[in-house]
Amino acid sequence: MLNSPLPDFTLPATSGLQFKASDYSGKFLVLYFYPKDATPGCTTQGIQFRDMYDQFSAADTAIFGISRDSIKSHENFKAKYSFPFELLSDSEETACQLFGVIKMKNMYGKQVRGIERSTFIVNPQGTIVKEWRGVKVDGHAAEVLACIQSFHP
């Protein structure tokens, strides 16, 4: 994925919106894939992006969280934690497949198919310039912001 063009895909988003990748050329884009709404790690991750949202905006960056949860689940999750960015519902795994984030994981001794927590930065020219896979939540949003700021002159 690294240094390749962002695939153009469309997904339903919270707030009744439709996300179309090509609509975001000209600005930085953070796409973070997470396993499930309202679980501890995913909540912490969303809160860290929320708390740094103004700094991301100042760096001309749009943030989107992506999971396989429904829009209804996303709306509740977003409202409960006052996320200022939209969440995308990928119930058909369209973006998950494009970005290769579906993995077999061990959960309570069983193999389950799920999203590997991953983040991608897309530059204003539409190229994926950074990717993190198997993300550890603590401090991740700050690391993503620092990376974006390093691209600014």
- Is 36 within a domain? yes
42 is an active site residue? yes
Residue 2's pLDDT is what?
87
Of residues 6, 42, 135, 148, which has the active-site annotation? 42
What's 68's domain CATH number? Answer: 3.40.30.10
- Is 74 within a domain? yes
pTM of the model: 0.95
Residue 137's pLDDT is what?
95
Residue 50's pLDDT is what?
98
Number of domains in the chain: 1
Sequence-ordered list of residues with C-beta below 8 angstroms from that of 69, at least 6 positions apart, any chain: 36, 37, 77, 87, 89, 91
- Is 23 within a domain? no
Q: Which domain holds residue 113?
A: 29-151
- Is 8 within a domain? no
C-alpha 27/C-alpha 25 separation (Å) is: 6
pLDDT, averaged in runs of 10, over the chain (153 residues): 91 97 93 96 96 97 98 98 98 96 86 93 96 95 97 79
